[in-house]
Amino acid sequence: MPDLQKTLGYRYLHDTKFTRKNIREKERPAIAPAPAFKDYPGAEKIDLPKNPQKPAADLWQLLQQRRSLRNFSGSPMSLDDLALLLWACQGITARAGAYLLRTAPSAGALYPIETYVAADRIEGLAPGLFHLNVGTFQLERLTDKPAGALVAQAALDQSFIGQAAAVFVWSAVLRRNMAKYGQRGLRYICMDAGHICQNLQLAAEALGRRSCPVAAIYDDELGDLLGLDGVEESAIYLAPVG
Ligand SMILES: Cc1cc2nc3c(=O)[nH]c(=O)nc-3n(C[C@H](O)[C@H](O)[C@H](O)COP(=O)(O)O)c2cc1C
C-alpha cells in the first residue's frame, strides 16, 4: 500500500482543490450533459400514494435514536410507508425557475443520483426491482422476481440485506453533475448520495423501521443487476430498510 500522499484518493482530493488562483483560470469541462431526469417509458408504472399519513415525529429524537441496524424482522411494509421513504429520498418539494427542488440538497440543483428499490415485502406490490420516476412519483417495474437476495450478493454477500422489506439502491449519472463541475464534481456526487441516505435513515426511524447504509458493493455486479452500463450511470450506494 503506498503512503497516503501517493494514493489515488489523496491525489484526487489534491488535484481537484479550488484555489484563489485556479478558480479564475477554470476552463469549462468538455463533458456533454445528460438529461436531468431518467424514465423507463415501456415499464409498468405503479402510482405511489401522494399524501400518505405521516406519523408525528420529533427531529431531535430521531437524530438521537438513528442507528445503523442490520437485524430485520422480515415484516412487510405498506405502500404508504414505501412512498414516504422514497419521498424522503428524492421527493420534489418546490420549484425555482426551471429547477424542481427536492427533499435532499444537490450541488447546483443537478440531482445526479437515481433511486432504485428492490421491493420484496411491500403489501399489495408483487416483488421486483423498480426505478423511482422522480418527476411523476411513480415506480417503474424493471423485474418481476424477488431481488433483495441478489442485491445482498452484489453487496459483498452481506446477507442481512436480503431480509429487508425494501432495499434502496442509488446510482450516479456522472454527466449530470460533471458537465458543470468536471473532475471536482465527483466529490459533490458522493455528498449528494450521503444526504439522500441520511434522509432515508431519519424517515425510516420516524416509521419505526431499521436501516443501514451500505457502500461495500461489487460495483459492476450491482450495476448489472440494475441494467446500468457503469459508464454513463454507476451503482454507488444502497440501504436496506426492514
Ligand atoms: C458510507 C458508508 C458506508 C457504509 N457501509 C456499510 C456496509 O457496507 N455494511 C454495513 O454493515 N454497514 C455500513 N455502514 C454503516 C456503518 O458501519 C455505521 O454507520 C457506523 O458503524 C456508525 O454506526 P451508526 O450509523 O449506527 O451511527 C456504512 C456507513 C456509511 C456512512
The full DSSP string for 37-82 is ----TTS-EEEPPSSPPPPP--HHHHHHH--B--------B-HHHH
Is a pLDDT exceeding 90 seen at residue 26? no
List 166's β-bridge partners, or say none: 119, 241
C-alpha distances (whole Å) from 77 to each of 55, 83, 137 are 14, 10, 18
- What residue owns the CA closest to ligand 1's atom 21? 68
* 70 CA → ligand 1 middle, Å: 10
> CATH number of 4-241: 3.40.109.10, 3.40.50.10170, 3.30.565.10, 3.20.20.140?
3.40.109.10
C-alpha cell at 122: 411491500
Share of the chain above pLDDT 90, in %: 95
* 146 CA → ligand 1 middle, Å: 25
Is a pLDDT exceeding 90 seen at residue 2? no
Ligand 1 surroundings by CB, under 6 angstroms: 67-68, 70, 158, 212-216
pTM as predicted: 0.97
C-alpha distances (whole Å) from 174 to each of 26, 28, 50, 111, 189 are 19, 16, 29, 10, 8
- What values do phi and psi take at 241, rounded to 5? -130, 125
What are the domain boundaries of the chain? 4-241
Which among 63, 67, 68, 196 is the best mutation to test ligand 1's pocket, defined by most ligand atoms within 8 Å of the CB? 68
| Each residue's pLDDT tens digit, 142-176 | 999 999 999 999 999 999 999 999 999 999 999 99
Name residues whose C-beta falls within 8 Å of residue 211's C-beta, 6 or more positions apart in sequence. 68, 69, 200, 201, 204, 205, 239, 240, 241, 242
- What values do phi and psi take at 41, rounded to 5? -55, -35
Is a pLDDT exceeding 80 seen at residue 1? no
Which among 64, 212, 217, 219 is the best mutation to test ligand 1's pocket, defined by most ligand atoms within 8 Å of the CB? 212
Is a pLDDT exceeding 80 seen at residue 199? yes
Q: What is the pLDDT of residue 106?
A: 98
Q: What is the pLDDT of residue 240?
A: 99
Q: At 178, is the pLDDT very low, low, confident or very high (cuts 50, 70, 90)?
A: very high
C-alpha cell at 179: 458537465
> Is 26 within 8 Å of 184 (Cβ atoms)?
no
- What residue owns the CA closest to ligand 1's atom 7? 214
Which among 210, 214, 222 is the best mutation to test ligand 1's pocket, defined by most ligand atoms within 8 Å of the CB? 214
The Cα–Cα gap between 86 and 170 comes to: 12
Q: What is the pLDDT of residue 54?
A: 95
H-only helix segments in 145-213: 148-154, 174-181, 185-206
C-alpha cell at 115: 433511486
The Cα–Cα gap between 165 and 72 comes to: 8
Number of the ligand 1 atom closest to the C-alpha atom of 70: 11
Is a pLDDT exceeding 80 seen at residue 215? yes
Number of the ligand 1 atom closest to the C-alpha atom of 160: 11
